[in-house]
Structure formats: structure tokens, C-alpha cells
Amino acid sequence: MCGITGYLGTLPAVSTAINNLKRLEYRGYDSAGVAFISPQGLRVCRAEGRIVNLESAIKNEQAQSSVAIAHTRWATHGVPCEANSHPHRDCAGNVAVVHNGIIENYAQLRQELTARGHSFSSDTDTETLAHLIEEQLANATQPDLVTAVRDALKLVHGSYAVAVLWAGMPDCMVVARHDSPLIIGVGDSEMLIASDITAVMKYTRDVIVLEDGDCALVTREGATICNLNGDRVNRNHLSVDWDDTAAEKGGHAHFMLKEIYEGPRTVRETLRGRLTPEGLVNLNDLGLSAERIAAINRVCLIGCGTAYHAGVVARRFFEQLIRQPVEVHVASEYRYSDPILDENTLVVLISQSGETADTMAALRLARSYNAITLGVVNVIGSSLAREADARLITQAGPEIGVASTKAYLAQLTALTLLGLYLAEQRAPETASLQSEVRRALSSLPEWLEQCVALAPQMDALSAVVAESSGVFFLGRGYDYATALEAALKLKEISYLHAEAYPAGEMKHGPLALVEPGVTVVGLCTQRTTFDKMLSNLKEVSARSGAVVALIPNGQQVPENAEVTIELPKCPDALMPMLTIVPLQLLAYYVALRRGCPIDQPRNLAKSVTVE
């Protein structure tokens, strides 16, 4: 949630920080602001709405500075407005703070600070930090910003990534993190900070990933890192090999459309090097010994939103392959459950960013039971990648659109490889299914290209769906798992009401909602349930709902479907990857027709680092 950038160097700091912030606008976009130190002292400029509004406001400021911090907000405390925008200042206007996360005890701190004479100008939790730092500086015999920030943070409970400027030390910034991501980019006579690696890729590929409890003094010469007690710590540098152009739209109208078109390449890259010439799966870099794998007696799959839906697909696949109990859980519920775990349980945590707060809490809960933890994650230096016992890195590259598309395909691909890898070592009785899926994997990117080529058909279909009063996605087995993700895509970017149901459940209640004006999308890709799906769709037609059917090539076309979309034919276990692509395109084109802000849907942000 929210985006932080900062710059210290020879370039114009304000414009550099704001330009980098544009790459993080997917993390929050209800207000933006920048703080910088000019010859006149500490200056702050803020604006409600998008970053372009901040750029208009800053034109009237004397923005000459070599150091600046900037922020784009996703509201948690206080409505979106200029007063609640970051950066926040202390009473004297000498300290500026930007913050991602939530300070859970802010109300108590605010009450105490007010009683001591502090005056607040916002409704946010973040402003308490500025006043706490102000007090620490005022009470110190020899004021020092690093010490003041450390001591202030010892008083707060919750999550944070913070960057702080102080007029008393004009040639530096101080940053710190706990349960919210923050990185330092190391350049040539310049330093950058950001809450996401994509923000600094134009300037450097050499980054330091801060860990929980780290506090760093950043100067033009480098970064000095310590813990909250002041003890020096060393953090390794990470070399980022992402292509900088991957964070640009590349001629597409929206990041979401670009990322849908990148799906086939993403799957190809995730498969690369993980299939041996003999056709077996090579995940030797997973970090799990053969002995630990042999001891696994149960698998738990955990994720949020799209990542959870990837787990729903994987659950069915894993059970078919390894013939052991497999569970799938929503991370936000799992963290408050009383799980039955032991050292022989494999807990697979799925996250694009590797920083999702609920998923990280589930990871730490699983580790407290000594379970084996494995992160399926897209960001190498993320918290999930560092803290899990094992990791399986997807190769999606930067995903900027809030609605996940190519990262979902990468997760499904990685989970398919993981399922095959486990089955090869412990389930010889499913060798026939394993062989069928492995053979098909090499053709998967080509089939996905054919699915992307359905864009004109989905554009045409969107004209009907955009006028619908509601949309149902129906499926059985793997198709139901895909229906969950398809419904999420449509509602999160087009704001149409959409629901997913197991097709057989419609007659147990939801069928009452089918009437003229309702569109029902039937996913009919599974051989064992195809005939049942045809019957379910006839039930819809009998209630005057409009029927859209997705079927594999060569399959019987449902006679009652107004529109039929034909997909490449492949093993049932891989159909979720093919089926979701035209449905992602459908969501995109519906949102486009409805005039929605596709890459930045209302009330949502990309990396959910708060509970």
C-alpha cells in the first residue's frame, strides 16, 4: 500500500523523486506529496488526487534541492484530502515524514502528544511520528536524526516503512522499516529509496533490501544501517536483472493490456531451465532436501485474492498428483485460525510482491509450528523470499496493473511445476498424469498466444457484458477455480457485480437472480463435467439469462449459447491457464467501455502491506 520514493544526489531531487513516484502510483493514488530541503529550509508540497496534480502544484514552488522524499497515498486513516496527504510535519515545520503501514497505537500517542502541547493538522496515524521525532530532537543534548527516529519508532506499534527529512541535517535522509517493504538504490554519487524496486531501475540495479527493524542513515556517499538499538548491521546488495522497459507501457493503452499480452512470455520464462531434456522437472534450487520432501504428509496452500485463486487451482492438481490431503486457505483468515500443523506439513505461501501483510503473518504462524514453508513469489529480495524455508521464484517481471494478470499465470505455472516435482519423488502411481502434463507444458506458451489472439472476440462480447445488470461465472472442478478469478477481474476493474459459483450450486439459490439482463459465462473445458455444464447452462437459458460458453476446440457447441469462445485443447489440469486469458481480456474491454480507470481501480492498490 502507498508508494515512497526519495532521491539524494546531483540531479534535481524533487523532479527525480516525483518521476520515480509515477512508477509506484499503482500502490496508491488518492493524494501525493513531496518534501525537500531548499535554501529556505524544509518545504512540503501536497495535492489531493493523482501525481499530475502534485506536479501542477509544485510548479509554484522553488524546488531547488539535492534531497527529496515523495509519497503517493492509499488511504487508511482519514479521507483523501490535502491535509491528510503525506509528507506530514511536526509543529515547527522542521521534520517531514512519509510512511507506509499502520501505527496501531496512534490514538493513544496522539492523545499523549496533544496533552504535551502538540497541535495536529490531519486525521492520519502518520502525523504522530513527526511529532514524536520532534520531541526526541528537542530533548536531546546533541540532536541527531538517526537516534531521534530510532527512539520514536520504539514507541509505536504496527507496521511501517518511513523516510524522514530534518532541516537540521539537510544533506541526508533517514529511513526505517518493519513489516512494510523499503529498499535503498545505490548509484554513482547518488542514493535512492523506494518501496518497490521498479521505482529505481532507471538509475541503478544495485539495491539494498532493508529488513525488519532496520534504520538507515542515507547520504550521498552511501547508507549506514543499524537496528533500533543502534547496533550496526550489514545487508547484502542485490543485483536486479529486470528489464527497465518492463515497467513501461510499451505502446499499449494500459499496463493491464500490456501485461495480458506478456502472459505467454511470462510462462515461457517461468518454465525456462525447469524442465530437463528427459522431460522431468528440475527444482533443485528449491532448497528442500529429498528427506524433507519424503516426510511431507500434508500440504497447505495460502494466499490472498488472485494468489488464493491460484491456490484453489493448485489444490485440485496436487491432490490428483500426489494423492495426499491438500488444503487451501485465505491468508487473512488463516492468521487468526488455530491450524493443525507440524514439521511434516508443507505450507506453500503464494504472493506476487512477497510483502502481503496477511500472507507474511500466515508464514510466521506456520514457522512457529515448525512447518516447512515455501514461498511462491515474484520478487527475489522480498520478505517472503527471505523468510520462507524454500522459495520458488516466478518470472513475471514487474507487474504494474493493480489487477493481476501475468503474475497469476506465472503462479499457476510455478505451482504446476511444484506439483510435478513432488509427485515425481513420491507418487509413482500417478506417472501417467505426470507424463501427460509435462509433455504439454512445452506447448503452453504457444497455446496462450492463441488465447491472446481472441482479443477482438472479447472486445465484441464486452459490448453485451458492459450493459448487463450482473454477471455469473459458472464452472465445475478446475473451471470453478477459474470462475473465481474471472469474477474478481471483472468486478475489480469494471465495477460490475460479478459472482462465481460451482455450476451445480446455481439451482440451490443463486438461480433466483437470473433474469433478462443477466449474463452467465459458462466455463466448459473439463472432459468429465462437460455434459453436466450443458445441462446447467440450459437451466440459465430457461430463466432468460444470456449464456456465453468457453469450450475447447472440437468440443460440442452448446446450442443455447449466444456466444461461444473456442480455446486450444490441452490436458484438463492446464486449461485454467488458457481459460483465464480471454476472461482477463473481457474484463479489460468491459472496463474500457464503462470508462473505468483500468490500471488504478477505485479503493484498491497493488501491494497490500496493511491488514
> 255 by DSSP, 3-state: which?
helix
> Cα(360)–Cα(367) distance, rounded to whole angstroms?
11
User: In terms of Cα–Cα distance, which of 558, 562, 583, 573 is closest to 526?
Assistant: 573
* 602, part of any domain: no
Residue 30 has pLDDT above 90, yes or no: no
**pLDDT for the residue 179:** 80
Calculate the dihedral angle through the C-alpha atoms of 407, 491, 196, 2, rounding to the nearest 10 degrees: -170
> 478 and 415 in one domain?
no
**pLDDT for the residue 95:** 95
Q: Given pLDDT bands bounded at 50, 70 and 90, which one contains residue 65?
A: confident
Q: Is 491 among the catalytic positions?
A: no
Q: Given pLDDT bands bounded at 50, 70 and 90, which one contains residue 396?
A: confident
> Of 210, 241, 272, at which residue does a domain stop?
241
Work out how many domains the chain is built from and give that number.
Answer: 3
Lowest-confidence pick of 186-200, 362-376, 563-577: 186-200
Q: Given pLDDT bands bounded at 50, 70 and 90, which one contains residue 1?
A: low
476: domain CATH number is 3.40.50.10490
| Contact between residue 583 and residue 489 where contact means Cβ atoms under 8 Å apart | yes
Residue 399 has pLDDT above 90, yes or no: no
**pLDDT for the residue 34:** 92
**pLDDT for the residue 592:** 95
> 113 and 253 in one domain?
no
> 344 and 286 in one domain?
yes
**pLDDT for the residue 244:** 57
> 173 and 99 in one domain?
yes
> 271 and 214 in one domain?
no
> Of 417, 442, 467, at which residue does a domain stop?
442
> Cα(99)–Cα(71) distance, rounded to whole angstroms?
8
Residue 609 has pLDDT above 60, yes or no: no
| Contact between residue 588 and residue 598 where contact means Cβ atoms under 8 Å apart | yes
**pLDDT for the residue 539:** 81
* 606, part of any domain: no
Calculate the dihedral angle through the C-alpha atoms of 74, 77, 81, 87, rounding to the nearest 10 degrees: -70
Residues 6+ apart with CB under 8 A from 347: 299, 300, 302, 341, 362, 363, 366, 371, 372, 373, 374
> Of 398, 419, 442, at which residue does a domain stop?
442
| Contact between residue 361 and residue 335 where contact means Cβ atoms under 8 Å apart | yes
Residue 284 has pLDDT above 90, yes or no: no
* 603, part of any domain: no
Phi-psi region of 140 (alpha: psi -120 to 50; beta: other; left: phi over 0): beta
In Å, what is the CA distance from 549 to each residue of 381, 390, 552, 566?
Answer: 42, 40, 10, 8
From the centroid of its chain, how far is CA 555?
Answer: 36
Residues 6+ apart with CB under 8 A from 488: 305, 306, 309, 498
Among all chains, which residue has been given the C-alpha cell 518492463? 246
Residue 397 has pLDDT above 90, yes or no: no
* Position with higher pLDDT, 401 vs 317: 317
**Mean pLDDT for the stretch of residues 376-393:** 89
Q: Given pLDDT bands bounded at 50, 70 and 90, which one contains residue 48?
A: confident
> Cα(142)–Cα(184) distance, rounded to whole angstroms?
27
**pLDDT for the residue 272:** 87
User: Alpha helices, DSSP H only, in 116-262?
Assistant: 127-139, 145-153, 255-261
* 448, part of any domain: no
Q: Given pLDDT bands bounded at 50, 70 and 90, which one contains residue 426?
A: confident
| Contact between residue 103 and residue 122 where contact means Cβ atoms under 8 Å apart | no
Catalytic member of 2, 45, 300, 570: 2
> 252 and 237 in one domain?
no
User: In terms of Cα–Cα distance, which of 260, 263, 317 is closest to 438?
Assistant: 317
Residue 373 has pLDDT above 90, yes or no: yes
Calculate the dihedral angle through the C-alpha atoms of 174, 180, 185, 190, rounding to the nearest 10 degrees: -30
* 286, part of any domain: yes
Residue 255 has pLDDT above 60, yes or no: yes
Q: Which three cell numbers stand for residue 484?
A: 473465481
Residue 607 has pLDDT above 60, yes or no: no
Lowest-confidence pick of 40-54, 75-89, 172-186, 440-454: 75-89
Q: Given pLDDT bands bounded at 50, 70 and 90, which one contains residue 604?
A: low
* 431, part of any domain: yes
| Residue 428, number of CB atoms within 10 A of its CB | 9
**pLDDT for the residue 63:** 65
Q: What is the DSSP letter of 350?
A: E
Catalytic member of 22, 406, 489, 606: 606
Q: Given pLDDT bands bounded at 50, 70 and 90, which one contains residue 28?
A: low
User: Alpha helices, DSSP H only, in 542-606?
Assistant: 575-593
Domain encompassing residue 473: 453-593
User: In terms of Cα–Cα distance, which of 584, 548, 604, 586 is closest to 409?
Assistant: 584
* 77, part of any domain: yes
**Mean pLDDT for the stretch of residues 152-176:** 93
> 257 and 224 in one domain?
no
Residue 148 has pLDDT above 60, yes or no: yes
User: In terms of Cα–Cα distance, which of 588, 593, 559 is closest to 464?
Assistant: 593
Q: What is the pLDDT of residues 241-253, one digit of tens each?
A: 666 555 566 667 8
Segment of 174-188, 370-384, 477-491, 525-539 carrying the highest mean pLDDT: 477-491
**pLDDT for the residue 253:** 85
Calculate the dihedral angle through the C-alpha atoms of 219, 224, 227, 231, rounding to the nearest 10 degrees: -130
- Per the DSSP assignment, residues forming a β-bridge with 70 are 5, 34
**Mean pLDDT for the stretch of residues 387-409:** 90
> 498 by DSSP, 3-state: which?
strand
User: In terms of Cα–Cα distance, which of 27, 14, 67, 8 is closest to 192?
Assistant: 8
Q: Which three cell numbers stand for residue 336?
A: 487468526
Segment of 71-75, 215-219, 422-426, 517-521 carrying the highest mean pLDDT: 215-219
**Mean pLDDT for the stretch of residues 573-599:** 95
Count of CA atoms in the C-beta half-sphere (13 A) of 224: 12
**What is the C-alpha R_g of the chain?**
25
> Cα(3)–Cα(609) distance, rounded to whole angstroms?
11
Q: Given pLDDT bands bounded at 50, 70 and 90, which one contains residue 585?
A: very high
Q: How much of the chain, in percent, has pLDDT values that exceed 90?
A: 57
Q: Given pLDDT bands bounded at 50, 70 and 90, which one contains residue 586?
A: very high
**pLDDT for the residue 62:** 56
> 131 and 29 in one domain?
yes
Residue 563 has pLDDT above 60, yes or no: yes
- By DSSP bridging, strand 546-552 and strand 563-567 are parallel
**Mean pLDDT for the stretch of residues 210-219:** 92
Residue 325 has pLDDT above 60, yes or no: yes
Q: What is the pLDDT of residues 109-138, one digit of tens each?
A: 999 999 999 999 998 889 999 999 999 999
Q: At what angle do helices 575-593 and 406-426 cross, to 10 degrees?
A: 170
Residue 606 has pLDDT above 60, yes or no: no
> 253 and 184 in one domain?
no
Max Cα–Cα distance, the chain, nearest Å? 83
- Please return the burial class of 286, using the count of CB atoms within 10 Å of its CB with bins 0-12, 13-18 and 19+: middle
> 321 and 222 in one domain?
no
Q: Which helix (H) or strand (E) holds 361?
A: helix 357-368
Q: What's the N-to-C CA distance of the chain in angstroms?
A: 10
Q: Is 606 among the catalytic positions?
A: yes
> 228 and 144 in one domain?
yes
**Mean pLDDT for the stretch of residues 216-237:** 92
Lowest-confidence pick of 64-68, 69-73, 504-508: 504-508
**Stated pTM of the model:** 0.73
Residue 304 has pLDDT above 80, yes or no: yes
Phi, psi of 447 (to 5 degrees): -65, -40
> Cα(115)–Cα(143) distance, rounded to whole angstroms?
23
* 601, part of any domain: no
96: domain CATH number is 3.60.20.10
Mean pLDDT of the chain: 89
Residue 61 has pLDDT above 70, yes or no: no
Q: What is the pLDDT of residues 491-546, one digit of tens each?
A: 999 999 999 999 888 778 877 777 888 899 999 999 888 888 888 888 877 677 78
| Contact between residue 585 and residue 454 where contact means Cβ atoms under 8 Å apart | yes
Q: What is the DSSP letter of 558?
A: P
**pLDDT for the residue 335:** 81
Q: Given pLDDT bands bounded at 50, 70 and 90, which one contains residue 60?
A: low
Residues 6+ apart with CB under 8 A from 380: 238, 393
**pLDDT for the residue 455:** 95
> 173 and 133 in one domain?
yes
**Mean pLDDT for the stretch of residues 407-414:** 96
